[in-house]
Structure 1
Amino acid sequence: MERRAYYRNGWMPWLLLAPQLILVLVFFYWPTTQALYWAFSLEQPWGGGNTWVGFDNFLAIFRDREYWGTVLRSAFYAIVSTGLSMAVALTLAAFVDRSLKGTRIFQSIYVWPYAIAAPAAGVAFRFIFAPESGLIGSVNQIWPGIWDPATNGIHALAMVIVCHAWLGIGYNFIFFLAALQMIPRSISEAGAMDGARPFQRLIDLQLPLIAPTAFFLLIMNLISSFTDSFGLIDVMTEGGPIGQTEVMVYKIYFDGFKGLDYSGAAAQSIVLMLLVIGLTFVQFKWVERRVHYN
């Protein structure tokens, strides 16, 4: 017999839900409505009211070549960081899943990066990749200028991508390991008896069976790459050199808070939101067709 909770007072459930509803309304829906209003109006930098301009803010950013460069840079950043993070996490999970000596220690060590705040990791990686000290400094002494993220945009973008991918390895590792451990051992043992090597068993047997987990992680990592890269870039490069590490989310901050173009930044935030929604829809529409849940 199913048991259900009944409240004698009709207002009690709403009273219990009120704190969460207030948080959602104040910190999610209210800023979203404000951004929509600012995106279709001209907000004065120092106040003084708004002027309705329709789609002029969107047309202005779409006509800006630098903005399209930022979009392409964001897409490249998301694809490379997602692929790198998931590939490394899957490799580590495959080694730990084999139950080799010391794997329990590694299970806890691999998760640690996920607990580190992005700005703190950015500061650490900024010192690790500093061209004047450490291993990189020694290499630069042999080949001067081979690595200089302060002046080379490709080097700076690579440094940020590696840091972002490293932060996501722990999160991806947890899900991949859990998915691999759910696969019956008899399947891997049967593949081993047929002469398949561990890498071949991973590609032909295990990876198709954990496709739902990989699909979930693909969506989460891409969304994170588009929306959660601000802290890293602000600490490590501040969008430089010459805007070569400026992605969409950082450009919104830079144009809005430093350039005082609130309306343009609001329009960019709406475009970013629609891009993430569209990307998720495309993945569910086409990529999910290759995923088998049974």
Structure 2
Amino acid sequence: MEKRAVFKSWWLPVVFALPQLLLILFFFYWPVAAVVNWAFTLEPPFGGPAEFVGLANFQEAFSDPFYWNSVMVSLIFATVGPLFAISIGLVLAIAVDRQLPGSGFFRFLYILPYAIAGPAAGMAFRFILSPERGLAATLNAAWPDIWNPAKYGEHALALVIIIFIWKWSGYTFIFLLAGLQSVPRALGEAAAMDGAGPFRRAIDVQVPLLAPTLFFLLVTMMTEGFVGADTFGIVHAVTEGGPNHGTEVMVYRIVDEAFKGLNYSGASAQSIILIGLIMIFTFIQFRFVEKRVHYK
């Protein structure tokens, strides 16, 4: 029979929980309340009394074509980047799951990119894929402007997505490798005895059993693609939202509006819209995708 700890006075557990409660209050509830308040008021950039304006900040955001451009860019970034990162992490995890010589070294090698900060990875790739002196310089010499992220928004968006995939594939690799190691070896051995090759065993045995892990990564990675620190850091370090707003994701636009444009009210309204968009995607994932996930 388990023994339960019982406090003889009510104030003792409150004292123990008070530091955590204060952290939650000052770093979560207070900022959330401030953002909601600013979203429905007009905050003067240099101080002063705020004016209640209702839904005017939301109407201003929805009537701005550049805002809808940031929504589209975020949807592309938060869809393409996570899907490729999960796919690459899955392939790498299956490749090193087999007990082969040197597999331990490759496990370390595949995890390493995740330890690098997003802005640092962005600056490195900015030089590696530079159209003048990087790996793409040879292609540009043969076909001018076939790759020029400084000029074309599509190329710049592809560049920041590539950086995101390179960094976060290591993150997905960690979870997928752990999931593969929990798959009973007897299942793979039985499939091998039936004549199934490594590819067929991966598709028919291993991947279906990884469904809970894949669903978890899908939800977390799409959220990271929308509001992650690396999403902002990579865009800020590599393109600063350009060229011509081609890489201006929603989270970067919010920070730019608030701290460069001093439009705290508009940035707060856009933050609430972004949260609502993430909730919609999460609901769709749990409503339709989770039905195909089997936990037993």
> TM-score, structure 1 length as denominator?
0.96
Q: Which residue of 2 aligns with 1:240?
A: 242
Q: Which residue of 1 aligns with 2:135?
A: 135
Q: Which residue of 2 aligns with 1:120?
A: 120
Alpha-carbon offset, residue 133 of structure 1: 1.6
Distance in 2, Cα, partners of 1:209 & 1:251: 39
Distance in 2, Cα, partners of 1:42 & 1:217: 39
Q: Which residue of 2 aligns with 1:249?
A: 251
RMSD over aligned CA atoms reads 1.3
Q: Which residue of 1 aligns with 2:51?
A: 51
Distance in 1, Cα, partners of 2:59 & 2:198: 53
Distance in 1, Cα, partners of 2:255 & 2:130: 26
Amino acid aligned to 1:240 = G
Between stretches 236-245 and 6-15, larger displacement belongs to 6-15
Alpha-carbon offset, residue 279 of structure 1: 1.4
Which sections of structure 1, spanning at least 5 residues, go unmatched?
none
Alpha-carbon offset, residue 7 of structure 1: 3.0
Q: Which residue of 1 aligns with 2:261?
A: 259
Distance in 1, Cα, partners of 2:151 & 2:261: 23
Say whether the 8 Å CA contact 2:42–2:52 is kept in structure 1: yes
Distance in 1, Cα, partners of 2:196 & 2:6: 58
Say whether the 8 Å CA contact 2:82–2:225 is kept in structure 1: yes
Q: Which residue of 2 aligns with 1:286?
A: 288
Q: Which runs of 4+ in 1 moved over 4 A?
A: none
| Residue pairs, 1:20-31, within 5 angstroms | 20-31=20-31
Alpha-carbon offset, residue 230 of structure 1: 0.7
Q: Which residue of 2 aligns with 1:93?
A: 93
Query: SS at the partner of 1:238?
Result: coil
Amino acid aligned to 1:242 = N
Q: Which residue of 2 aligns with 1:172?
A: 172
Amino acid aligned to 1:182 = S
> TM-score, structure 2 length as denominator?
0.95
Say whether the 8 Å CA contact 2:66–2:245 is kept in structure 1: no
Q: Which residue of 1 aligns with 2:34?
A: 34
Alpha-carbon offset, residue 139 of structure 1: 2.6
Query: SS at the partner of 2:136?
Result: helix
Q: Which residue of 2 aligns with 1:63?
A: 63
Alpha-carbon offset, residue 276 of structure 1: 1.1
With over 3 angstroms needed to count, the CA separation of the structure-2 counterparts of 1:52 and 1:219, relative to structure 1, is: same
**Which string of whole-angstrom CA distances, capped at 9 and with x for unpartnered residues, describes residues 140-180 of structure 1?**
22322221111111111111001111111111111101111
Alpha-carbon offset, residue 111 of structure 1: 1.2
Amino acid aligned to 2:232 = F
**Which string of whole-angstrom CA distances, capped at 9 and with x for unpartnered residues, describes residues 41-100 of structure 1?**
111122221111111111221122221221111111111001110011000000111122
Aligned length: 294
